[in-house]
Amino acid sequence: MKKYRPTYTLLDEITASPTEPTPATSRTHQLSLMWQGLAAIESSPAPSTNDWRLCSDAVNLMETLIAMEVVEDSSGLLMDAITALAMAGRRAQQGKPIRLDGAGIQAVRAVLEDYAAVLEAVPHRTMVRAHRRTEKRIHEILTGRRQPHDVEVLKL
């Protein structure tokens, strides 16, 4: 397993704006990658594990933001999106293409739309904090420290 290297440090969190959203260039970059990942899963002949990871990262960040009580699951589809991505990841581990069924596409798309709205409104510091917590949780799960509410983590 690779050495755990977080994307953001505590210093990044402290220096991020407590009132302004994530800078526009970062938002645009992040959202563009996320939507490209979903488009590839929906229609590419061979979606990559990175496409799946980009969508999973956004869904995991939403889960963290909801757990932090920063936002609510406005679509009510968070668990459906998590399940759909887990099933798509399982198919990839079996050598099949990464795909979502119709309900999975709807759930993931709804959560990604919520995430896009949140990224534009929530202060950058809160987003960095959520990112740090999400990465830490995923790392803990991958190293065997699961919690009862953890659904499934796939390493593709």
pLDDT digits (tens, 9 = 90+) for 93-113: 899 999 999 999 999 999 999
Answer whether residue 153 shows pLDDT above 80.
no
Q: Is the pLDDT of residue 64 over 80?
A: yes
* Cα(71)–Cα(143) distance, integer angstroms: 28
State the chain's mean pLDDT as an integer: 91
Dist. CA 135–CA 5, nearest whole Å: 9
DSSP H helices, the chain, are: 10-15, 24-43, 49-67, 78-93, 102-121, 124-142
Residue 44 one-letter amino acid: S
Collapsing DSSP states into helix, strand and coil, what is residue 21?
A: strand
Which of 44-58, 78-92, 106-120, 131-145 shows the lowest per-residue confidence on average (mean pLDDT)? 131-145
Cα separation of 19 and 37, whole Å? 29
Do residues 132 and 6 touch, judged by C-beta distance below 8 A? yes
User: Residue 152 has what pLDDT?
Assistant: 54
pLDDT band, residue 140 (cuts 50/70/90)? confident
